[in-house]
Amino acid sequence: MSGVTIQGNILTPAGWLGGAISFGERIAGIDGAAVDPRQNGDDYVIPGFIDLHVHGGAGKDVMEGGDAIHTIARIHAQHGTTSLLATTMTAPPEDIDIALTAIGKAVRQRGKNEARVLGAHLEGPYINSGKLGAQPNFARAATLAEVQRLEAMAPLRVITVAPEIAGHLGLVRELANEGMRVQIGHTLGSYEDGVAALEHGAAGFTHLFNAMSGLHHREPGMVGAALAHAEYAELIPDLLHVHPGAIKTALRAIPRLYCVTDSTAATGMPDGEYMLGRHVVHKCMGGVRLPDGTLAGSTLTLDQALRNLVGLGLDLADASARVSTNAADYLGLQERGRLAPGAYADLVVLDRDLKLKAVYIEGERCDLNDA
């Protein structure tokens, strides 16, 4: 691949530099001087976005299997996401097998204009049937043998578990020892259950505040466990799933909070009916809901998430970390989520209004108009 050089305000691990970044598949070098990007009218060059919770987009759902994941990876790339985790739904075993088989193939081969699929986020079926949210009711207890069988189909980088289910606390430690990031989610567990899960190796929380026991001053619940003890948690900043005040609370409490879209097939599509696993969902008025009104994922993209965070008062460097670097660090990916020599050339170029001008994935420029 021939080299590319871009000029602008470049966000590096050491701060903003005004200058040039050169790259092929990986970043070759960054030359420039320290700059205040607020005073320099050039474009912003920041790390590509990393989304660890993606169900769908462009009319396609991860649970369809087949080529659906490629369509999903393309639509998210057009919004600056350079790598992602394809996320499953709670479903019968045969449905999960179909999805993971397709995810495994996508991990091995990235298509043109597609975000890199890093693996799977298994969001269920190991959740509490009393806190399904928009998940179909196929919840069940987990066994290590079953998870290992699924891991053979596709890398399970993140797995959501309700720790209060009998047998799950010990399993959390076993899965963590196998290198998986175990998240607490879709849970009726107490504060004490959350603390115990963290002590057993749980690393984060799935869509913080949503589908978990809430905070009360005498019963802190799972939200209280996260706010008091978590280093990492994911959160959906579409300003619909979580009130801005609650987002600000989480930002103050959880050092490495990162943002996800929890996006569905309705992302990038007009209002209407779409599938979310085995559920029919409805997109209208900017949200996605089940027929009873329950929120069912989102239509958020991470470029909009970034703008929402800046709108809440975060500076651009902090907002960038929340949609990229923190997620990379959570998965232990030192070659992504940062602009530094030797890292993959995953980057986005933004204008002064934080609108996308260009996206590069492993050094290749993405066609932002690719259908």
CA 114/CA 137 separation, integer angstroms: 32
CA 259/CA 238 separation, integer angstroms: 10
Point out the catalytic residue in the list 262, 303, 329, 346.
Answer: 262
b/e 152-178 (16+ beta carbons within 10 angstroms → b): ebbbbbbbbbbbbbeebbebbebbbee
**Cβ atoms of 108 and 93 closer than 8 Å:** no
The CA-based diameter of the chain, rounded to the nearest angstrom, is 61
In the chain, the amino acid numbered 325 is T
CA 352/CA 115 separation, integer angstroms: 24
Q: Is 262 marked active-site?
A: yes
The single residue listed with the structure tokens 């993140």 is 158
End-to-end CA distance of the chain: 24
The Cα angle at residue 186 between residues 172 and 71, in degrees rounded to 5: 95
Q: Describe the chain by its helix, strand, coil percentages, rounded to 5.
A: 30, 30, 45
**Cβ atoms of 123 and 89 closer than 8 Å:** yes
**Secondary structure E strands in the chain:** 4-12, 15-23, 27-34, 44-47, 49-54, 56-57, 60-61, 81-87, 116-123, 156-161, 181-184, 204-205, 234-235, 258-259, 272-276, 279-284, 287-289, 347-350, 356-361, 364-365
The dihedral sign for the CA sequence 261, 265, 267, 272 = negative
Q: Which residues are catalytic?
A: 262
